[in-house]
Chains A and B, each alone.
Chain A
Amino acid sequence: MKSKEINENKIIEVLVKNSSAGLDETSKKKILNNINIKLRNKYMKKYIFGSVSLLTLVFVGLFVFNTYLNKPEPIVINEVVAQLKTQDTSTGDASMKIAVDDHSSFNAAQNVLSFDVLVPTTVKGGQLAQVQTARTFDGSKSDSIYTTFAVDGDMYFQLNEMKTDPENVYVPEDSTKVTLMINGKELEGYYVKFQETDIDPNSEMALYGGTSSKSELSFYANGVQFSIYEFGKLTQNDLVSIANSLK
């Protein structure tokens, strides 16, 4: 049959495929070299990608650890100087600087604070535990600065300054008028409440060592309401002592 006839192309094919000739060594070396370069690049990319992923994982781990698992380590200090100043009254920007032992500091800034009653405030004999700015639920900064201190190694209290309009200040009927001495300046405010409450074991308070009670001392003066919270075992008298130390 005509279709089964072997043509010239088939003859060439069979001869070539059965020949013993092949690629010369130079070409082989060249191709092998290219293959090796490609392999090295491929694995290098993988290695870099893997390292970056690992690094990302480490950073995420560190973030989680620092944010959620690690209790703030109290820093032993001789003196804490808290300095709060208004930077720009037109925008309301302000910053707070806390210097520790005259050589290290924490800075917190936010854009709504505008008060000068605590310039400068000196806290003696405490341990600085944490400085944090508060944030609202939508992620923007709120108009509060929280500064947390530890006293005697295991007692924590929090100083909270909040910009408040005088007409919006709510002073409960059972409040007591209190006078604080701040930087030699007499500051009159109201002791708003002292209460004992159960602390949620999963709460931030519990994380800071709170067990079963919470005390709070709030003042209002010069357009700023500031409160001192106690997360541990402080008594009402302790709070007054702390307040008195703010001078």
Chain B
Amino acid sequence: MNNLLINKKKEIENIFREYADDIYRFAYSKTLDSTISEEIVSDTFNTLVDVYENYTDQGKIKSFLFGIALNKLRQYWSNKKIKKVIEFDEDIHSLEVNTPSLKRNRLFNKLIKILDTLPDKYKLVVKLRFLELKSIKEVANTIGTTQSNVTTIQNRALKKIREKVNEK
């Protein structure tokens, strides 16, 4: 019993080490909330423990995990009575393989280039909020301003990026 437990523990720990951050970022990108995202990660792996024995397709573990995480997000929104449409194809299939989607990479590189052209304050807020995944409060403390000011800067920066990325 002990050996079996140790083996399962190791296997699940390895999966956790490999994918916990990906799941966290996935959840964060949908909720923009670190606490909820952490809960989604925890719930996802708890579910994995429940079903792991019956899961045989080890090669697809990443997409399997994201499928669980997506369901957890849906449950979360359903409990909060929030209507949210997730673009399933984009979310799951782009994360299914270990190499990031080429299309998304291109868009990311483009966004980084646009970000470099923005005023320093805009650049800093976007970087802290969406690349370092800091909360509004943390960003406000870091740059020494109010939370509402951070929200305003963030919205203006995103608007600028949107305009530039959609320019032909």
> Contact at A16–B28, with CB atoms within 8 Å?
yes
> Contact at B100–A18, with CB atoms within 8 Å?
yes
Interface size class of B (residues with CB under 8 A): 35 or more
Is A203's beta carbon under 8 Å from chain B?
no
> Contact at B4–A15, with CB atoms within 8 Å?
no
> Contact at B133–A19, with CB atoms within 8 Å?
yes
Contacts of B161 in A (CB 8 A): 8, 11
> Contact at B130–A19, with CB atoms within 8 Å?
yes
Number of A-B contacts (CB under 8 A): 107
Shortest CB-to-CB span from A98 to chain B, Å, is 47
Is A40's beta carbon under 8 Å from chain B?
yes
> Contact at A32–B16, with CB atoms within 8 Å?
yes
Total number of A residues with any Cβ neighbor in B under 8 Å: 31
Tell me if B's interface is mostly helix, strand, loop or mixed.
Answer: helix
Interface string of A1-43 (1 = CB under 8 A from B): 0000111100111111111111100011001101110111011
Contact of A31 among B26, B45, B107, B133 (CB under 8 A): B45
Contacts of A32 in B (CB 8 A): 13, 16
Please report the C-alpha to C-alpha distance between residue A7 and residue B42 in the assembled complex, in whole angstroms: 30
> Contact at B162–A11, with CB atoms within 8 Å?
yes
Is B96's beta carbon under 8 Å from chain A?
no
Tell me if A's interface is mostly helix, strand, loop or mixed.
Answer: helix
Is A47's beta carbon under 8 Å from chain B?
yes
> Contact at A16–B45, with CB atoms within 8 Å?
no
Assuming the contacts A28-B20, A32-B13, asked whether A39 and B49 have C-beta atoms less than 8 A apart, the reply is yes
Chain A residue at minimal CB-CB distance from B103: A14
Most buried by B among A7, A34, A35, A42: A35
Interface string of B147-168 (1 = CB under 8 A from A): 0000000010011011001100
> Contact at A43–B100, with CB atoms within 8 Å?
no
> Contact at A15–B20, with CB atoms within 8 Å?
no
> Contact at B162–A35, with CB atoms within 8 Å?
no
Is B32's beta carbon under 8 Å from chain A?
yes
Contacts of A35 in B (CB 8 A): 12-13, 16, 45-46, 49
Please report the C-alpha to C-alpha distance between residue A12 and residue B33 in the assembled complex, in whole angstroms: 13
Assuming the contacts A19-B130, A43-B8, asked whether A13 and B45 have C-beta atoms less than 8 A apart, the reply is no
Please report the C-alpha to C-alpha distance between residue A18 and residue B13 in the assembled complex, in whole angstroms: 23
Is B142's beta carbon under 8 Å from chain A?
no
> Contact at B41–A15, with CB atoms within 8 Å?
no
Is B60's beta carbon under 8 Å from chain A?
no
Interface string of B14-29 (1 = CB under 8 A from A): 0010001110111011
A sample of 17 more A-B contacts (CB under 8 A), given A14-B111, A27-B41, is A5-B162, A6-B162, A8-B155, A8-B161, A11-B158, A11-B165, A12-B32, A15-B111, A17-B26, A17-B95, A18-B100, A18-B104, A31-B45, A32-B13, A34-B42, A34-B46, A36-B9
Interface residues, chain A, with chain B CB atoms under 8 Å away: 5-8, 11-23, 27-28, 31-32, 34-36, 38-40, 42-43, 46-47
